[in-house]
């Protein structure tokens, strides 16, 4: 399948899905710079740059990528990793996983009991982080998770305003920086969240405006509203998109 056709097909699927996730570990399509993966009609694909997608002999319900690894969540809830495009040597990371978020620093995985586990890049040691978790996101040096009660917690780099609470110094523990959150996604130095009332807020690095006019040209250090009346969000290295409740796509 040609790459252009692949993206069009996946774009239609994502537009029709009730929840759009987009970081380096979306259910159907994942990308981290030139490393990409996709699930089409139950078949898993992986490719680099504009090369031809190759079929991976592992069924997946979610795919993820980082700078040097590919991740697959199998239908039975097993999270596995492949290093340096070596798809013949899977590395078991954790069983009974419901969904995960991957990035250059590692993986945040939520199991079927809503417990959050952290697996650092290059390791297979799962560390318990928190309970009663809804979503998680791995950004560029900063990690986020949202509890079932809508509380957002963050730990990691803060120099670009990634925390959204005004601080520019990192913390040793996860700290709460927002409430009434239903979803969080992050990328290169910035993060975007979706509130329960439909407001989309952003914080962090903003040279090309992914978090809106607030802080444009450098960074935003506090959560600021980008748009309202939204039901799904996604962000890339220098842009953000949202699907509004009337199914309008805005960027």
**pTM score, whole prediction:** 0.87
Mind listing the pLDDT tens digit for each residue in 38-74? 999 999 999 999 999 999 999 999 999 988 899 999 9
Q: Looking at per-residue confidence, does 52 or 10 come out higher? A: 52
**Own/partner pairs, 36-42, CB within 8 angstroms, 24+ separation:** 36/65, 37/63, 37/64, 37/65, 37/70, 37/72, 38/6, 38/10, 38/63, 39/63, 40/1, 40/6, 40/9, 40/10
Please enumerate in sequence order all residues whose Cβ is within 8 A of that of 93, keeping only pairs 6 or more positions apart, or say none.
Answer: 71, 79, 80, 81, 107, 109, 119, 124, 126
What's the confidence (pLDDT) of residue 20? 40
CATH architecture of the domain covering 132-251 = 7 Propeller (2.130)
Any idea where the domains of the chain sit in the sequence?
Answer: 1-95, 132-251
Mean pLDDT of 11-17: 40
């Amino acid at each position: 399948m040609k790459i252009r056709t692949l993206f069009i097909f996946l774009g239609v699927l994502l537009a029709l899905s009730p929840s759009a996730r987009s970081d380096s570990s979306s259910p159907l399509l994942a990308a981290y710079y030139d490393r990409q993966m996709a699930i089409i009609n139950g078949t898993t694909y992986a490719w680099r740059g504009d090369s031809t997608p190759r079929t991976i002999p592992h069924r997946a319900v979610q795919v993820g990528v980082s700078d040097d690894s590919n991740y697959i969540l199998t239908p039975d809830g097993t999270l596995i990793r492949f290093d340096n495009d070596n798809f013949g040597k899977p590395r078991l990371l954790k069983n009974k996983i419901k969904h995960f978020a991957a990035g250059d620093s590692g993986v945040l995985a939520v199991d079927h009991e809503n417990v959050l586990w952290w697996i650092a890049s290059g390791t297979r040691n799962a560390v318990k982080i928190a309970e009663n978790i809804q979503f998680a996101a791995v950004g560029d040096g900063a990690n986020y998770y949202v509890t079932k009660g809508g509380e957002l917690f963050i730990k990691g780099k803060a120099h670009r305003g990634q925390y959204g609470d005004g601080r520019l110094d990192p913390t040793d523990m996860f700290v709460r920086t927002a409430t009434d959150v239903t979803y969080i996604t992050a990328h290169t130095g910035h993060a975007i969240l979706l509130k329960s009332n439909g407001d989309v807020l952003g914080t962090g690095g903003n040279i090309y405006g992914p978090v809106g006019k607030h802080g444009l040209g450098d960074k935003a250090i506090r959560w600021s509203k980008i748009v309202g009346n939204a039901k799904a969000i996604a962000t890339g290295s220098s842009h953000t998109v949202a699907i509004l409740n009337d199914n309008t796509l805005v960027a």
